[in-house]
Amino acid sequence: MRRIAIINQKGGVGKTTTAANLGSALARLGRRVVLLDLDPQANLSLHLGTNLASGEPSTYDLLLGRETLADCLRDTTTAGLQLLPAHIDLSGAELELASAFGREILLREALDTWESASQEAHGEAPADYVILDCPPSLSLLSVNGLAAAHEVIVTLQTEFFALQGISKLVEVIQLIRRRINPALTVAGILPTLYDTRLRLAREVLAEIRRYFPGQVFSRPIRTNVKLAEAPSHGVSIFEYAPNSSGARDYLVPSRVHPGSFYALPQSPQQLKQLLMVAGFEKYFQIARCFRDEDLRADRQPEFTQIDIETSFLNRDSFFGLMEGLMAAIWKETLGIDLSPPFERVPYSEAIERYGTDRPDRRFGMELATISDIAEASGFKVFKGAIEKGGVARAIAGCSGSPISRSRLCRAPGAPSPAAHNAGPNRCKPLV
């Protein structure tokens, strides 16, 4: 069970927006997610349509030991997403807990107890993700969040003043790691409220990436009015405006299958880099991805991307890896056995023999030089080209008379000959 705290001691930098929409995004990908509101202002609770009355179970009751975590959870309008809401009473928790022994780890103990009980009863953790929305201060509530979390996402507004407090926040995180929670790591720095039109925003983003190399998420959360409007409707951005740029920054929606989502923003590449430097020969990252471009006839809008990073490989090893992968895919998806190694034709040889770098070799048709025949034919076009130093070449269709033109010009799965001939890539005569 991953525990992620979202924090910044500065207010208005997108912590609550990120907690609500990242939790909703993960739930839409089939994960079991619990959002935990640690802010007495209860903005996360309001964002998801929950407004507690006095006396209802909340984070306040959990920290004071009056209720268990399971008793405080509420369902949301998103399947798989639960909320542990906050109430204004939480603002008095610091005073009430001032003399409590181990007050910094009360939340961690509650989460540990909840997870252990689920493991004993059901043999699995009660959730896949717990996301903690910390208040805009370095108070006891924030310390509890950092002590309970395994990872931290720091939201950082792309403005000058945001840079001033980040060093202090990093110091606090390091202090928590040394004294209370050695397992705490920084999952990444998430730039928020990014206005692509402003030079200052671009400069601040570049400075953040320079100061935190390998730790800044590749896609900043852009300024978007729909993100600001969604809380007033008590829903996440995916329910309010799923096709907005605000939604796309947290999760990429499908243009072909409305309501379906395929990829979270890219995470920092630090782990991949460490694996390569450590000497791992191969690193596979298999993800359902979306090509965020205009749809084209030769591209599938959704596809499974296999990202292979390699190091310390020679040419033959690389080809062997790719051929083995292709053979496994054909066997798994089509039931066809391929036998590596495949025949390899260099680019220059393919162009010379077939006139294309993607020859269809089922028919064995290669280019043949017919300059002598063309010149003797008296055909002015051929004769003039040859006299200027040109060459006449033709496809040699050996034993091709019984093969229909449509079969020669059409690969399996390609458009019909009529449709093909109507386009700019219509079939060419054999000569």
Write out pLDDT tens, residues 276-332. Answer: 566 666 666 655 544 444 444 444 555 556 667 676 677 888 888 889 989 998 999
Q: Domains along the chain? A: 2-251 (3.40.50.300), 347-422 (no CATH)
| Residues paired with residue 35 on neighbouring β-strands, in sequence order | 83, 131
User: Per the confidence metrics, is the pTM higher than 0.75?
Assistant: no
Q: Residue 60 pLDDT > 60, yes or no?
A: yes
Question: What is the C-alpha to C-alpha distance for residues 28 and 76, in angstroms, rounded to an integer?
Answer: 12
- E-strand ranges in 62-202 read 74-75, 81-84, 129-133, 151-157, 185-192
Question: What is the C-alpha to C-alpha distance for residues 178 and 168, in angstroms, rounded to an integer?
Answer: 15
pLDDT of residue 421: 38
Q: Residue 123 pLDDT > 70, yes or no?
A: yes
| Residues paired with residue 396 on neighbouring β-strands, in sequence order | 366
Read off the pLDDT band of 228 (50, 70, 90). Answer: very high
Angle at 41 between CA 39 and CA 44, to 5 degrees: 65
Q: What percent of the chain stands above pLDDT 70?
A: 77
Which alpha helices (DSSP H) does 158-221 contain, by range?
160-179, 199-211
Place of tokens 């309010």: 240
| Residues paired with residue 393 on neighbouring β-strands, in sequence order | 369
Picking from 132-146, 320-334, 361-375, which range would have the lowest pLDDT averaged per residue? 361-375
Read off the pLDDT band of 430 (50, 70, 90). Answer: very low
H/E element holding 5? strand 2-7
284: three-class secondary structure by DSSP: strand
- At position 33, the amino acid (one-letter code) is V
pLDDT of residue 264: 42
Question: What is the C-alpha to C-alpha distance for residues 46 and 27, in angstroms, rounded to an integer?
Answer: 19
| Residues paired with residue 368 on neighbouring β-strands, in sequence order | 394
